[in-house]
Structure 1
Amino acid sequence: MVTSGVVLVGGNALIAKYTGAIDADGGLIGAPAEGATKAVAEDIKGPINILMAGIDPRDDKTAPLSDSIIVAHIPATMDQVYLFSIPRDLYVDIPAFPPTGFGGGKSKINAAMSYGSSVGNGKHDVKQGFQLLAKTVGQLTGIKDFQAGAIINFGGFKKIVEAMGGVTMTVDMVVKSEHLKPNGERRDRRPECADNTCAHPYIGEQKVYRPGTYHLKAWEALDYVRQRYGLPHSDYDRQRHQQQFIKAMAKQAMSKGVVTNPSKMLKILDAGGDALTFDGNGHSILDWGLALQGLNTDNMVSIKLPGGGVYDGGRYLGEGLGAGSDQFFEAVRNDRIPEFLLAHPEFVNRNS
């Protein structure tokens, strides 16, 4: 699995700080020297599993939570991408993590980064927290290691979408923004909610996204994919929308030649500052872009994992995965997703 050794995007440069990979037991394997990248990208070969985590902007004194967890599986043929989301509220066993003294235990999976992030003196490191998230997802899915990983700061990542000129997306249902007005400004708060203790503190007019295909501005796209309140299936609908967003951004990057043009890619990534933290397992994000330029984004498949609430008596603990999920993870590990989907077409998001 990927470690905290990462490629930081920002500061007018790609700064390689790869320190190695971590196996399923947490041990370090193959560590190139500081600042080094592998000479060629030909060894970026499928099958590949990439772990992505989306987080809210936080300072280093606040423990991070992974509000979005997405795995991209690229088969040995290197011409396809399968995206599946891990529900943020999935109730799982989070393994022990000696660097922070966490002894392991049951919790929602989005807390794994928090349990793994403490570096002392009241400070937190999202890159270290990502190590525990990777171990947790690996334990859940049986995926022994991830060939790459990324942490995306939602607030700063908006700048990357702006640098791309927005994004064309198909809105598949009516989605009302919990947070923003139609002009993108913050909605007004109810006076009694000034202390941030209300679950739904906002009042007044709100931005509404209606079914259809639109070219969304950066703030609209990020707002749309973060909504879950009021949706028929709550976070499960949001997971689908986030996968749609990734597909739309990938398609746009391919069509505009961003992936095959290093100067374009660097310009866009630099616009995001420190919004994106990437670990390419010894390769820069440019290496990965060139290695994956043959992907057919039109055939990118969005997967929906079945699930539902887990309760202790009447107390809600989180979400649990439904029937067939273990078989799907087995198909991922064996690079046999097409065969699984032929037998289980209900796992495919048809409106993505």
Structure 2
Amino acid sequence: MTQDAARPRRRWLLGLAALVAVALVAAGAVVATRLVSRSGPGPVAASATPTPSLTTGAPVTSSPTPPPPPGADVKGPLNFLIVGVDTRVTVPGWEPHADAVMVMRVEAGLKRAYLFSLPRDLVVDIPAFPKSGYPGGRTKLTHAMSYGSRVPGDKLHPSTAQGYELLRTTVSRYTGLRIDAGAVLTFFGFDRLVDALGGVDLYIDQRVASIHRRPDGQYRPHTASGYVGPQMVYEKGKRHLNGWQARDYARQRYIAGGDYARQRHQQQLIRALVRKILDQGLARDPDQVQQVVRTLGRTMVFVGGGRRVIDFAYALGGMPADGLVLVGLPGDGVRTGGAYRGEQLRPIGRQFISELRAGRADAFLTAHPTLRVKT
């Protein structure tokens, strides 16, 4: 493949990394409503119209006008909602829960993006949703997916796509951000993707003991009293993780810092994945590019408001490797009469969202550097 031919493929892949790597770390399972197109622009036919030469009069072939690249008309700012969903498909009638909710804001020039998480237990106003018969109420954010997924008259087959619709509306109203596109995805292809990349290098910032896995990667037995048996432990320091280890590490929330630490670890893993894809120069290996694309296609459902994932991916392809800024929004527990109700963002977290909406996120983060997630 020539350098010129590889460039469009590289732009597409890097944009895909910036968008999809976010989704890959979110925990959950997907009910696939449809697969998005993964093909790039078709070949351009050469024009056979001759034009006279200014020097010899011999006919020459004029160069065709290339079509615009995918997503050439995509402009910022853009807001993406990435959701990891726990569907427990083996349990009939289990309503999907949003275990990870991430928002990525891409600024107007498409050169800088901010990624932040909303707590799954964030107390929010969930609007009425006639499709599922939900009357509306104030409760935890994770329940928006559950309540929206209910199909009247069919308790055995909840709709994850329908639940995503209500969650998207809820997040948009809470943040004041218009959601342009989003994704829900599965745990199950994540292991294969990370392994296809040769694993991922990550700095583990605290000791994490897994409640789900043994050191050999097998699942720990679950009894009436909880999980039992030896635990996989991720010690602090620089580590190389394979697929199941990366996914397992990003799932853990019964650790120091709770769900806020899990959000941080998911974001750090996103950054590590993006760097891995960039550093390996995958665009120079067409076979590996196609392998990654096929893996993503099996594990992700993209909701693009009429646009294909390739449109957004190509538009984001010019973002530099350090253009993705990770932001951690602190929160506190909400209690009523001593009973725990959920979480709320601290004022500084709500202020960040307001400044982000106004296009002043960089200045706000400069004034409040502790909000930046270290990698």
TM range (shorter): 0.7 to 0.9
Could you tell me how far apart the structure 2 residues matched to 1:261 and 1:127 are?
Answer: 35
Amino acid at match of 1:221: A
Q: Secondary structure at the match of 1:324?
A: helix
**1:181–1:207 CA contact under 8 A, matched in 2:** yes
Larger displacement relative to structure 2 (108-117 or 248-257):
248-257
Amino acid at match of 1:314: G
Aligned to 1:202: 227
Could you tell me how far apart the structure 1 residues matched to 2:358 and 2:32 are?
Answer: 27
Larger displacement relative to structure 2 (319-328 or 51-60):
51-60
From 71, 74, 81, give the equivalent of 1:41. Answer: 71
2:188 aligned with 1:164, yes or no? no
2:128 aligned with 1:96, yes or no? yes
Amino acid at match of 2:98: S
Amino acid at match of 2:149: S
Could you tell me how far apart the structure 1 residues matched to 2:283 and 2:87 are?
Answer: 27
2:83 aligned with 1:53, yes or no? yes
Amino acid at match of 1:161: V
- Please report how far the alpha carbon of residue 341 of structure 1 lies from its aligned counterpart in structure 2 after TM superposition: 1.0
Amino acid at match of 2:209: K
Q: Deviations over 1:70-118 (max 9, x none)?
A: 1111111222221100001111111111111111101110111111112
**1:112–1:136 CA contact under 8 A, matched in 2:** yes
Could you tell me how far apart the structure 2 residues matched to 1:68 and 1:92 are?
Answer: 15
Q: Secondary structure at the match of 2:35?
A: strand
Residues 162, 70 of structure 1: alpha-carbon distance in 2 compared, 3 angstrom cutoff: same
2:298 aligned with 1:271, yes or no? no
Residues 184, 286 of structure 1: alpha-carbon distance in 2 compared, 3 angstrom cutoff: same
Aligned to 1:111: 143
**1:72–1:83 CA contact under 8 A, matched in 2:** yes
Residues 276, 258 of structure 1: alpha-carbon distance in 2 compared, 3 angstrom cutoff: farther
From 324, 327, 342, give the equivalent of 1:303. Answer: 327
Larger displacement relative to structure 2 (303-312 or 318-327):
318-327
Larger displacement relative to structure 2 (260-269 or 49-58):
260-269
- Please report how far the alpha carbon of residue 265 of structure 1 lies from its aligned counterpart in structure 2 after TM superposition: 4.6
Residues 313, 106 of structure 1: alpha-carbon distance in 2 compared, 3 angstrom cutoff: same
Could you tell me how far apart the structure 1 residues matched to 2:298 and 2:200 are?
Answer: 21
Residues 263, 101 of structure 1: alpha-carbon distance in 2 compared, 3 angstrom cutoff: farther
Aligned to 1:136: 170
Could you tell me how far apart the structure 2 residues matched to 1:266 and 1:341 are?
Answer: 38
Counting aligned pairs with the same residue, the percent is 40
**1:69–1:87 CA contact under 8 A, matched in 2:** yes
- Please report how far the alpha carbon of residue 250 of structure 1 lies from its aligned counterpart in structure 2 after TM superposition: 1.8
Q: Secondary structure at the match of 2:103?
A: strand
- Please report how far the alpha carbon of residue 330 of structure 1 lies from its aligned counterpart in structure 2 after TM superposition: 1.4
2:250 aligned with 1:225, yes or no? yes
Q: Secondary structure at the match of 1:99?
A: coil
Amino acid at match of 1:8: L
**1:251–1:298 CA contact under 8 A, matched in 2:** no
Cα RMSD (Å) of the superposition?
Answer: 2.5
Superposition pairs for residues 189-338 of structure 1, below 5 Å? 189-190=222-223, 193=224, 198=225, 201-229=226-254, 231-258=255-282, 264-272=288-296, 274-338=298-362
Write 1 or 2 for the structure with the bigger share of helix. Answer: 2
**2:70–2:315 CA contact under 8 A, matched in 1:** no
Write 1 or 2 for the structure with the bigger share of strand. Answer: 1
**1:48–1:76 CA contact under 8 A, matched in 2:** yes
TM-score where L is the length of structure 2:
0.77
Gapped runs of 5+ residues in structure 1? 16-37
**2:200–2:242 CA contact under 8 A, matched in 1:** yes
